[in-house]
Amino acid sequence: MAGTLVIVESPAKAKTIGKYLGRDYTVRATMGHVRDLPPERLGVNVEDGSFLPEYESVKGRGKIIGEIRTLAKEASAVLLATDPDREGEAIAWHIASAAGLNRRGLKVSRVEFHEITERAIKQAVANPRQLDMNLVNAQQARRVLDRLVGYRLSPLLWKKVQRGLSAGRVQSVALRVVVDREQEIEAFVPREFWTVEADLARSPWSKQKNDLFRAVLFTREKSPRKWEFEKGEEAQQVVKELEAASWKVAAITRKEKRQHPSAPFTTSTLQQEAARKLGFAAKHTMKVAQELYEGVSLGSEGNSGLITYMRTDSVNVSREAQEAARAVIVQQFSPEYLPSKPPFYKSKALNAQEAHEAIRPTNPARLPDGIRQFLGADQHRLYRLIWQRFIASQMAEARLEVTTYDIDAQPRERTKQPYLFRASGERTIFPGFMAIYRESVGDSEDSEEIKGLPRLQENDALDPVKLLPEQHFTQPPPRFGEATLVKTLEELGVGRPSTYATILSTIQDRGYVVVQGVGREKKFVPTPLGSAVTTLLVARFPDLLDVKFTAKLEDELDQVAEGKREWVPLVAEVYHPMMQHLALAEREVAKIEVAQSPDFPVAEKRKTTGRSSYTRKSGSSSYAAKTPRTRKTAEKKADYATPNGEPSGEKVAVKRAPRQKAVVAEEAQVTCDKCGKPMVKRKGPYSEFYGCSGYPTCRNIRKL
């Protein structure tokens, strides 16, 4: 093979890049990672304090590595074009090491691009660089830390709580955030209070609904505040006094408010807004965004990347992209929707790395509806969201008029001071960016909008259409949804934005939390199992489970990436105290019994290719594990990794249990006549039967 070999991770990416580079380049995809820590042992040298990882080829990647090695022998140069982040840098280094690309005479370079467009690809190829070992070491440090925490703490959970559990360095802190919020909710004591409100209209009321507006009773202090009564009788007494009162507009305040557009998307804000507006889980958002980034076939135009790299915490935008957006704004709206100069945004996230661009369309002129026929439904919805947010971010600010009416309600007794009611509303003077996009709040798509008020003048008489003594209760802090949990993790500096999707799916897969609610109102609720695991880990590993400690560790990993710190001492600073706490916990912690409830799913072991993992099955009150055929196999299977590559246990002694061939199918509405636990319908080698969910403690079975 003559020419240059280009190595990327995915076939879709390879197809798009190959189209731009032409015949002198051969593009091959690795299908992701080619090397990793071994799945069935620790794989980190802790005995001599070097913490050097022992990498091995990922199962199924041997053929790909061999092909890359063969093609490299015939190539004049090799370009490592993996993703432009720390993980991509580490993948590039692993490829070079596994395929032996460091041989003499072969020119191996790293190229980096943040969008898969012809201009970006050719510019990257023209400006290659060397591998950045600081970035590689930062990723190695993260991987080794995650492996050590998982492999050392998971066996403790096996012994003290329940077999099959696992602990993760960042995931356990995220779980703590959810559990802490639930404890706040449970400890919350609501306080009752009352307000007095009135539905008013200009006198005489025309019976038109649009003329009605709501006003609330305020105190007459120097800084008026909403008047709250402790008892309903007090509010009712005020209402009684107002039944024959005369009402008029005492004062009017009008102010212009300018509202600026939100910055273009980062990984975190994209996940939040896709959850609110589209109902997407963070994991699904990242999957669809990856497809848009790697390239989609656009008919005669061929494959093209539609968005820039979707793992970023930067809000920077290139000058070229801003100019392209401004042209679209003039075409789709008018020149008055353009600000005098392109806006500049600064990231608010902790540990933000500003080297990348924000997530934006690669070609702003590519309108969502113009390419709808080439996209799947979710691809189109996410692309439209990204496009709208980016175009809005480059538009002029919105101008709003905020109006406040101060209203006097004079009781019949003229000697009494009038009661003060207040109503506020807003009117759009110029929509600006809001003509195309408005950011949501909380976990819901709906933004809190202040309604407009009817146009009134001072001293206008008003009719009280309805007087309302309203009962209220203070509310506990809300449970987290996808959007608010991602936002909170980012604000706390826990993990990296690119890991949030995995974190949220992991704590669900392990049965530590469940999702309650429907649609966009889904909330995370910790299970008894998740609460028990968190209580144990927080009590025994206060540093590892501390939010500030975890955020500080992210800062230190950033220092490794910048070449300001060595990674091995950093790992040692975490590992040695953890092992001291672990030794105490092994001796002092008693077995923790977790109350099982049909309201919460629990572990059910399922077999996956090359490893074992645990999933959660709703409706089961226990798990039925297939026992390996031999003691030797059983001991080997006790040492496994979870699907995301994070370890969930180290090799431990496994007692041989009687083999049970049945697998759980569904829970039946039948209880065990021996222990009282629910019976579960199981499928054996010859027929179905009911088995006790308490197996192997209770072995009771019943024919269907």
HEC string for 29-51 = ECCCCCEECCCCCCCECCCCCCC
Alpha-carbon gap, residue 237 to 239, rounded angstroms: 5
Q: Which of 25-39, 586-600, 602-616, 672-686 has the lowest mean pLDDT?
A: 602-616
Reported as a single tens digit per residue, the pLDDT across 445-471 is: 665 566 789 999 999 999 999 999 999
Write down the pLDDT at residue 615. Answer: 37
Write down the pLDDT at residue 703. Answer: 66
Instruction: Please provide the DSSP assignment of 534-561 as one string.
Output: HHHHHHH-TTTT-HHHHHHHHHHHHHHH
Q: 3-class DSSP state for residue 635?
A: helix
The better pLDDT of the pair 353, 19 is held by 19
Of the ranges 132-136, 222-226, 593-597, 624-628, the best mean pLDDT one: 132-136
Quick check: pTM over 0.85? no
Write down the pLDDT at residue 527. Answer: 95
Write down the pLDDT at residue 704. Answer: 63
Q: Which of 446-455, 598-607, 679-688 has the lowest mean pLDDT?
A: 598-607
Q: Give the pLDDT mean for 120-128.
A: 95
Q: Looking at residue 77, what DSSP letter applies?
A: E
Reported as a single tens digit per residue, the pLDDT across 159-203 is: 999 988 989 999 999 999 999 999 999 999 999 999 999 999 999
Assigned fold of 4-131: Rossmann fold (3.40.50)
Alpha-carbon gap, residue 567 to 575, rounded angstroms: 12
Taking a C-beta distance cutoff of 8 angstroms, is the pair 394, 326 a contact? yes
**Given a cut of 80, is residue 687 above it in pLDDT?**
no
Q: Give the pLDDT mean for 121-144.
A: 96
**Given a cut of 90, is residue 646 above it in pLDDT?**
no
On the 0-12 / 13-18 / 19+ scale of CB atoms within 10 A, 540 is buried
Q: 3-class DSSP state for residue 161?
A: coil
CB atoms within 10 A of CB 206: 9
Query: Residue 391: what residue type?
Result: I
Mean pLDDT of the chain: 86
Write down the pLDDT at residue 277. Answer: 94
The catalytic site residues sit at: 309
What percent of the chain is predicted at pLDDT more than 70? 85
Alpha-carbon gap, residue 608 to 642, rounded angstroms: 10
Phi, psi angles (nearest 5°) of residue 689: -155, 165
Q: Which of 40-54, 283-297, 481-495, 599-613 has the lowest mean pLDDT?
A: 599-613
Facing residues of 679 across strands?
Answer: 692
Which architecture does CATH list for 192-260+398-473?
Distorted Sandwich (2.70)
Write down the pLDDT at residue 440. Answer: 83
**Given a cut of 80, is residue 606 above it in pLDDT?**
no
Element (H or E) spanning 603, and its range?
Answer: strand 602-608
**Given a cut of 50, is residue 613 above it in pLDDT?**
no
Which residue's entry shows tokens 């880990």?
537
Write down the pLDDT at residue 600. Answer: 61
Write down the pLDDT at residue 50. Answer: 93
**Given a cut of 60, is residue 636 above it in pLDDT?**
no
Reported as a single tens digit per residue, the pLDDT across 510-551 is: 999 999 987 778 899 999 999 999 999 999 999 999 999 999
Write down the pLDDT at residue 571. Answer: 97
pLDDT band at 694 (very low <50, low <70, confident <90, very high): confident
Alpha-carbon gap, residue 504 to 514, rounded angstroms: 11
On the 0-12 / 13-18 / 19+ scale of CB atoms within 10 A, 692 is buried
Query: Residue 691: what residue type?
Result: G
Alpha-carbon gap, residue 218 to 216, rounded angstroms: 6
**Given a cut of 90, is residue 647 above it in pLDDT?**
no
CATH superfamily of 267-393: Topoisomerase I, domain 4 (1.10.290.10)
Domain with CATH 1.10.290.10 in the chain: 267-393
pLDDT band at 610 (very low <50, low <70, confident <90, very high): very low
Which residue's entry shows tokens 């572990």?
603
**Sheet-wide strand order for 663-671:** 663-671, 678-683, 688-692, 701-703
pLDDT band at 444 (very low <50, low <70, confident <90, very high): low
Write down the pLDDT at residue 692. Answer: 81
Write down the pLDDT at residue 349. Answer: 57
Q: Which of 31-45, 490-504, 682-696 has the lowest mean pLDDT?
A: 682-696
Alpha-carbon gap, residue 180 to 187, rounded angstroms: 11
Please determine, looking at this structure, whether the domain spanning 139-187+481-588 carries the CATH number 1.10.460.10: yes
Write down the pLDDT at residue 448. Answer: 55
Alpha-carbon gap, residue 199 to 614, rounded angstroms: 57
Q: Which of 234-238, 306-310, 349-353 has the lowest mean pLDDT?
A: 349-353
Taking a C-beta distance cutoff of 8 angstroms, is the pair 367, 120 a contact? no
Using alpha carbons, list the distances in angstroms from residue 113 to 130, 164, 317, 356: 14, 41, 14, 9
Q: 3-class DSSP state for residue 478?
A: coil
Q: Could you tell me the two tokens for 176? A: 């703590």
Query: Residue 184: what residue type?
Result: E
Element (H or E) spanning 691, and its range?
Answer: strand 688-692
Write down the pLDDT at residue 395. Answer: 97
**Given a cut of 80, is residue 478 above it in pLDDT?**
yes
Q: What is the largest distance, in Å, between two alpha-carbon atoms of the chain?
A: 101
Instruction: Please provide the DSSP assignment of 399-468 as one string.
Output: EEEEEEEEEEEE-SSTTSPPEEEEEEEEEEEE-GGGGT----BTTBS----PPP-----TT-EEEEEEEE
Write down the pLDDT at residue 29. Answer: 94
Reported as a single tens digit per residue, the pLDDT across 198-209 is: 999 999 988 888
Q: Give the pLDDT mean for 353-380.
A: 90
Report the C-alpha dihedral over residues 499, 501, 502, 505, rounded to 10 degrees.
Answer: 150
Write down the pLDDT at residue 683. Answer: 60
Write down the pLDDT at residue 252. Answer: 97
Q: 3-class DSSP state for residue 76?
A: coil
Helices (H) and strands (E) in the chain, counts: 17, 22
Write down the pLDDT at residue 302. Answer: 87
Q: Give the pLDDT mean for 103-109.
A: 85
Alpha-carbon gap, residue 598 to 524, rounded angstroms: 17
The residues, any chain, with a CB within 8 Å of residue 79's CB and separated by 6 or more, are 4, 5, 6, 7, 109, 110, 111, 125, 128
**Given a cut of 80, is residue 590 above it in pLDDT?**
yes
**Given a cut of 70, is residue 117 above it in pLDDT?**
yes
**Given a cut of 90, is residue 346 above it in pLDDT?**
no
pLDDT band at 1 (very low <50, low <70, confident <90, very high): low
Write down the pLDDT at residue 94. Answer: 96
Domain with CATH 3.40.50.140 in the chain: 4-131
Q: What does DSSP say about strands 419-430 and 213-218: parallel, antiparallel, or unpaired?
A: antiparallel
Domain with CATH 1.10.460.10 in the chain: 139-187+481-588
CA 71 to chain centre: 39
Alpha-carbon gap, residue 688 to 282, rounded angstroms: 38
pLDDT band at 641 (very low <50, low <70, confident <90, very high): very low
